[in-house]
Structure 1
Amino acid sequence: MIKELVYDEAILSTPCEPATAEDADLAQDLIDTLASIDDAVCLAANQIGVTKAVVVYQDDDGAAHVMYNPKVLAGFAAAKVEESCLTHEEPVRVTRFAKIKVSFDELVDGQLKSRRRDYMGWTAQMVQHMVDHCKGKLV
């Protein structure tokens, strides 16, 4: 179901609680909401008012990928970049890594399964942005 974006800093700055397999409906809401927003490429649950660590991003082919409980384990080649955010008015300069190692959970047959993956470039930047949202960091 498409949800309204939340701009309340009290919600956006609250660290997210760990997600569980019972948050599958929330993941679908994120996919639906992301698909409804022109030029949006990623979305975290707190941006629709739910403080759970669930995020979704679109790859270069437009396919949606859901991550539960994402964490950046390591980062390489830090640089300052300018980012925009759906729930923040002005672009900001932040430090992002060009390559990251991430742990996250994926919903498989109704259960969360642990995954690790490397991301590079634009996808790495999106994942770091969403992890910041899960930490309650306003970007």
Structure 2
Amino acid sequence: MIKPINHDLTFLAQKAHPATTADRQIITDLLDTLAAHHDDCVGMAANMIGINKRIIVVQMGPFAVPLVNPKITHRANPHSVTEGCLSISGQKTTTRYQSITVSYLDRQFQPQQQTFTDWIAQIIQHELDHCEGILI
């Protein structure tokens, strides 16, 4: 189900709680909401739809991929970028890493580990900042 975008900075600044298998519907809602905003959004965290769980979805080419309880385990090559956000107005400059390795659970709650680079790595880092309550 498509959910409204949350703009409450106090809520967005809270650290997300780990997701469980009881949170499967959140994944579907995030994917639906991301698809509804495909013209202006390439990633979304659960708190952006008002749910304080550690779930993100990332548009990777033609596929939107959910990452449940993601954690960066390695990062390399920091650089400065300017980003915008659907939940927060304006653009801000921040540091991102060109390459990251992420451990996460997939949609079936199976453990995965993958290295991401460049644009996809930047999107994941932005969404993980949401999970940490970091406002960009």
User: TM-score surpassing 0.5?
Assistant: yes
1:15-26 equivalences under 5 Å are 15-26=15-26
- Structure 1 residue ranges without an equivalent (≥5): none
Residue equivalent to 1:79: 79
Identical counterparts, % of pairs: 36
Q: 1:22 Cα shift? A: 1.3
Q: 1:103 Cα shift? A: 0.7
Q: 1:107 Cα shift? A: 2.8
Q: 1:39 Cα shift? A: 2.5
SS in 1 for 2:33: helix
Instruction: Check whether the contact 1:45–1:55 (CA below 8 A) recurs between aligned residues.
Output: yes
Instruction: Check whether the contact 1:82–1:92 (CA below 8 A) recurs between aligned residues.
Output: yes
**What is the TM-score normalised by the length of structure 1?**
0.94
- Structure 2 residue ranges without an equivalent (≥5): none
Residue equivalent to 2:14: 14
Q: Supply the distance in 1 between the matched residues of 2:16 and 2:100 (Cα, whole angstroms).
A: 21
Residue equivalent to 2:107: 107
**What is the TM-score normalised by the length of structure 2?**
0.96
What letter matches 2:19 in structure 1? A
Q: Supply the distance in 2 between the matched residues of 1:97 and 1:130 (Cα, whole angstroms).
A: 14
Q: Supply the distance in 1 between the matched residues of 2:30 and 2:66 (Cα, whole angstroms).
A: 9
Instruction: Check whether the contact 2:27–2:107 (CA below 8 A) recurs between aligned residues.
Output: no
CA RMSD across the alignment:
0.8
Q: Supply the distance in 1 between the matched residues of 2:58 and 2:87 (Cα, whole angstroms).
A: 16
Q: Supply the distance in 1 between the matched residues of 2:16 and 2:70 (Cα, whole angstroms).
A: 11
Q: 1:74 Cα shift? A: 1.3
Q: Supply the distance in 1 between the matched residues of 2:46 and 2:17 (Cα, whole angstroms).
A: 10
Residue equivalent to 2:115: 118
Residue equivalent to 1:127: 124
SS in 2 for 1:88: coil
